[in-house]
Amino acid sequence: MRKFNSSILVILSVLIILFVVMRLFMIPPTFGEFGWYRGESVREIANQSHKFADTYRCFECHIKEYAYWEVGGHSTVECESCHGALKAHTINPEEYKGYGEFLSPNTYPSIQAFCLSCHSESTSKPESFPQVKVSHTKYWNCTTCHNPHYPEVER
């Protein structure tokens, strides 16, 4: 049988002690408070300002669009899913128009690209979900025939 080397035991002990000491200094005191993450992050997130408004706030000014939306094929899609986070717009519509929002149609190269971001044909989508072949939109702007708030063909 081999003779056990005591230097390996010393090195292993030093590494374990070093690990425990570093862990005390590197892991935040609130880690594990609410699960496998830093507990303080929950409070930080809760204190962030909200950027989304309720869809029903849109009704206050956009009555016609809201009426179309409420009975149309997009009635299950919140306004901000297409128009972006617009709480600032609902608070002060004159000052904040929201044209540069990440999800707004203005950030896409074309209205076709915007519509196809949800409606492009894909086998991963349910058959009941409205899908468009890219060739259908090749020469047409979607809004030529479809009102985005009431997407059934009407124009």
Convert 126-155 to b/e letters by CB count within 10 Å (16 or more is b): eeeeebbeeeebeeeebeeebbbbbbeeee
Token pair, residue 42, equals 């929950």
100 pLDDT more than 70: no
* % of the chain residues with pLDDT over 90: 8
Q: Note the pLDDT of residue 3.
A: 64
- What are the tokens at 44? 């930080």
Instruction: Quote the percentage of the chain above a pLDDT of 70.
Output: 88
Instruction: With beta carbons less than 8 A apart as the criterion, state whether 14 and 6 touch.
Output: no
Q: Is 93 inside a domain boundary?
A: yes
Separation of alpha carbons 31 and 71, rounded Å: 48
Number of folded domains in the chain?
Answer: 1
pLDDT over 70 at 104, yes or no = no
Q: What mean pLDDT, rounded, does the chain reach?
A: 82
pLDDT in tens, 11-41: 999 999 999 999 888 888 888 888 888 888 8
Q: Domain for residue 77, yes or no? A: yes
- Residue 40: inside a domain, yes or no? no
Please, which residues bridge with residue 38 across strands?
31
The answer to whether residue 123 is domain-embedded is yes
pLDDT for 123 equals 85
Which residues constitute the domain of residue 61?
55-153
Quote the pLDDT of residue 153: 67
Q: What is the pLDDT of residue 7?
A: 84
CA 113 – CA 108 distance, rounded (Å): 6
Q: Assess if residue 102 is contained within a domain.
A: yes
Is residue 50 situated within a structural domain?
Answer: no
Per-residue confidence (pLDDT) for residue 18, from 0 to 100: 95
In a domain, 31, yes or no: no
- In 3D space, the residue among 85, 69, 38, 40 whose CA is nearest the CA of residue 150 turns out to be 69
For residue 146, give the H/E element and its range.
strand 146-147
Q: Is residue 79 part of a domain?
A: yes
Give per-residue pLDDT as tens, 71-80.
888 888 888 8
